[in-house]
Amino acid sequence: MGLGIFSISGTPFIPALPVYVPPGDHGMSTWADLSGGNAWALQLDGIIYLIIYLGFDYEMCSTTSKGAVQAYGYKYGARILQLNSVKDFSTHNIDLVNTPALHIVLDKCSNGELYNTTIRGGNEGGLDGIDIWCSNIHVHDVEVSNSNECMVSSGGCAMGSRDRNRYFSLPSSVPPFSSANNPDMSSIIYCNIYTATSNQIYFSNFIGHSNAETLDLNAFWPSEKVQAGSGVRYFNLTFNKWKGVCPNGTKRAPMNVICPANVPCTGITISDFAVWTRSGRSVLWKCKNAFGSGGCLDSGAVETNSAISTINAAPFGYNIPKMPSDLTDLPLMESIPTPPVRMTFFPAAL
């Protein structure tokens, strides 16, 4: 295992050729802080066992789809990959494994693409797969295995983002999150998602098998203290073709749209929602101050209201096929193996 592949920081970095990490296992004796580069590439065909922090225009890829960053998260303490204020970039065909913090953070970036990437994290909250607060980001053909927040799109700059063909091989969540102080998110598409002021967001083709939460839009954020202002306004959201099962449809409703009376949710559309329960014989749909069409939404005039619907018959089309390689929980106190990058990220059923 070699040491110190590269260590560059401070002054602008403009290599004449791609930075190349050859096949094999490579330890690093120090941090690698690469900043200020323009029109360059990091070709990662080997496996790195520490952290790279990137903040520049770049391409990061593996020509063999076998390159990886193995963070040994059960021993060490840093996130794997952070891109800060990066423009015109792509990251693809790599593995990010076993972070002790967050796997990928895209912070104030624009015009980027993340694809053909496999992320494996332990079975614990706080090990987010992908955190994004950026503009014009296209994420597709990605597998995330963790137990909490596969992907988080945060408010303020998520204009024009697309997320397609996402495979979450352990029960987790895909929350578009908007902060109290910077609550604007718009023009977002989530499409072909397989998982175990927000507006113009389209959630299409979701498959879930035993997720703790399914469609859970809750403006109250009960785990957070009350912030200044009236609250986040959710409007013009579309949820289409959601299928699968939840653990218990009466203990945790698979459809949950809860909004404050002074900032109701409007223009919400729910269609082709076929989610049944693994335990029990009925599911609940819960809506409060939520207006639009479909599900338990109120199609009438916007005024204070609350509705709970009990569904006693399994909906047509809920029993959707599984992916061939769903995982059991991954360990916290031992190494997680580096997997091959898969070739398919969403079943062909939809």
| Residue range 243-268, pLDDT digits in tens | 999 999 999 999 999 998 888 999 99
Distance CA 350, CA 348 (A): 6
**pLDDT band, residue 337 (cuts 50/70/90):** confident
- pLDDT tens digit string along 104-115? 888 888 888 988
Tell me if 22 sits within 8 A of 46, measured CB to CB: yes
Of the segments 74-88, 144-158, 276-290, which one has the largest average pLDDT value? 276-290
- pLDDT tens digit string along 72-119? 655 555 567 778 788 888 989 888 887 667 778 888 888 889 888 888
Q: How many angstroms separate the Cα of 295 from the Cα of each of 73, 177, 221, 315?
A: 42, 22, 22, 12
Residue 46 vs residue 266, higher pLDDT? 266
Strands 176-177, 151-154: pairing is parallel
Please tell me the predicted confidence (pLDDT) of residue 31: 63
The residue written with tokens 């988080």 in the block is: 152
Residue 45 vs residue 311, higher pLDDT? 311
Mean pLDDT over each residue of the chain, to the nearest integer:
74
Average pLDDT over residues 312-339: 77
pLDDT exceeds 90 at position 346: no
Residue 338 vs residue 201, higher pLDDT? 338
Tell me if 215 sits within 8 A of 201, measured CB to CB: no
Distance CA 167, CA 186 (A): 23
**pLDDT band, residue 36 (cuts 50/70/90):** low
Average pLDDT over residues 224-233: 73
Tokens encoding 266: 């409007």
CATH for 102-311 is 2.160.20.10
As a dihedral over the C-alpha atoms of residue 323, residue 329, residue 335, residue 341, rounded to 10 degrees, the angle is 10
Residue 158 vs residue 232, higher pLDDT? 232
- pLDDT tens digit string along 59-68? 788 888 887 7
Please tell me the predicted confidence (pLDDT) of residue 213: 83
Counts of helices then strands in the chain (DSSP H, E): 0, 24
Residue ranges per structural domain of the chain:
102-311
pLDDT exceeds 60 at position 181: no
Tokens encoding 37: 């580069």
The letter for the amino acid at 225 is: K
pLDDT exceeds 60 at position 52: no
**pLDDT band, residue 6 (cuts 50/70/90):** very low
Distance CA 346, CA 215 (A): 19
Of the segments 98-102, 162-166, 180-184, which one has the largest average pLDDT value? 98-102
Tell me if 286 sits within 8 A of 256, measured CB to CB: yes
Please tell me the predicted confidence (pLDDT) of residue 3: 30
Please tell me the predicted confidence (pLDDT) of residue 147: 59
Please give the backbone phi and psi of residue 81, each rounded to the nearest 5 degrees, phi first.
-140, 125
| Residues 6 or more apart whose Cβ sits within 8 Å of residue 340 | 65, 66, 118
| Residues 6 or more apart whose Cβ sits within 8 Å of residue 180 | 224, 227, 228, 229, 232
Average pLDDT over residues 171-187: 52
Tell me if 48 sits within 8 A of 21, measured CB to CB: yes
Residue 176 vs residue 314, higher pLDDT? 314
% of the chain exceeding 90 in pLDDT? 19
The residue written with tokens 């954020």 in the block is: 221
- pLDDT tens digit string along 196-221? 444 556 788 888 887 778 899 888 76
- pLDDT tens digit string along 128-141? 778 888 888 888 88
**pLDDT band, residue 192 (cuts 50/70/90):** low
Could you list the beta-strand ranges (E) of 27-129.
32-35, 40-44, 47-48, 52-55, 58-61, 67-70, 81-84, 87-97, 104-120
Strands 67-70, 87-97: pairing is parallel
Please tell me the predicted confidence (pLDDT) of residue 350: 43
Please tell me the predicted confidence (pLDDT) of residue 11: 39
